[in-house]
């Protein structure tokens, strides 16, 4: 039995009707658990990006193939940060190395949540969602449905709370050389 409590029903259709919501919750709960486990097991940016794509596929039923990741040191201004960007119409998401370096110095345990939220945000842009407020709401909603109450959800809701851990005080200069992460090559840690 499915555990929905519809035990004595005589009709299979009635049983299915009564059990379907419970079965869907169990099914999607299992999928979300898999996404959480995959996130915990991710060892690098490439693997985190795969989890991001799975989370979006599960939540929005949308996906996009052929996206590359690039890393560039964009620096940060005093109290200002550009974490990443997606050039509209392109096939690349560019991550700023500066906050990645800074978070490894201040709170290395925040690296994976930070990378997840930033890649999720930019991946949603790559699907054609260009309005920033819409993307922020989708990013927060997806993280809340999968990681409710976690640091990931907190970051998705308000990244500025984490700026002291991501920004170099007084700013940090940029270095304009980009490194593209080959998503089809062996592991890349960065």
Q: Indicate if the pLDDT at residue 24 is higher than 80.
A: no
Question: Which of 25-34, 55-64, 73-82 has the highest mean predicted lDDT (pLDDT)?
Answer: 55-64
**Residue 32 placed within a domain:** yes
Q: Is 5 part of a structural domain of the chain?
A: no
Distance CA 150, CA 141 (A): 13
d(CA 176, CA 47): 25
Token code pair at residue 93 = 């998401």
**Residue 190 domain flag:** no
Q: Is residue 7 part of a domain?
A: no
Min mean pLDDT across 72-86, 103-117, 124-138 is at 72-86
Domain that holds residue 36: 12-181
Answer whether residue 80 is part of any domain. yes
Q: What is the pTM of this model?
A: 0.80
What letter does residue 186 receive in the DSSP assignment? S
Is residue 16 predicted with pLDDT exceeding 50? no
Residue 160 belongs to some domain of the structure: yes
Q: What count of residues does the chain have? A: 190
Residue 188 lies in a domain: no
Higher local confidence (pLDDT), 171 or 1: 171
Considering its fold, how many domains does the chain have in total?
1
């Amino acid at each position: 039995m499915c555990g929905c409590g519809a035990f004595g029903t005589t009709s299979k259709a009635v049983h299915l009707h009564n059990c379907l919501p419970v079965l869907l919750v169990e099914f999607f709960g299992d999928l979300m658990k898999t996404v959480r486990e995959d996130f915990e097991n991710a060892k690098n940016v490439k693997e985190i990006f795969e989890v991001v794509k799975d989370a979006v596929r599960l939540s929005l039923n949308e996906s996009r193939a052929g996206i590359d990741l690039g890393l560039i040191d964009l620096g940060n201004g005093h109290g200002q940060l550009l974490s990443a960007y997606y050039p509209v119409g392109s096939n690349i998401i560019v991550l700023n190395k500066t906050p990645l370096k800074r978070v490894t110095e201040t709170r290395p345990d925040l690296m994976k949540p930070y990378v997840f939220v930033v890649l999720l945000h930019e991946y949603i842009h790559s699907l054609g969602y260009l309005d920033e407020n819409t993307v922020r709401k989708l990013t927060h909603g997806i993280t809340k449905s999968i990681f409710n109450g976690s640091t990931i959800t907190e970051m998705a809701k308000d990244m500025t709370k984490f700026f002291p851990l991501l920004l170099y005080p007084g700013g940090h200069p940029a270095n304009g050389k980009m490194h593209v992460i080959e998503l089809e090559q062996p592991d890349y840690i960065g």
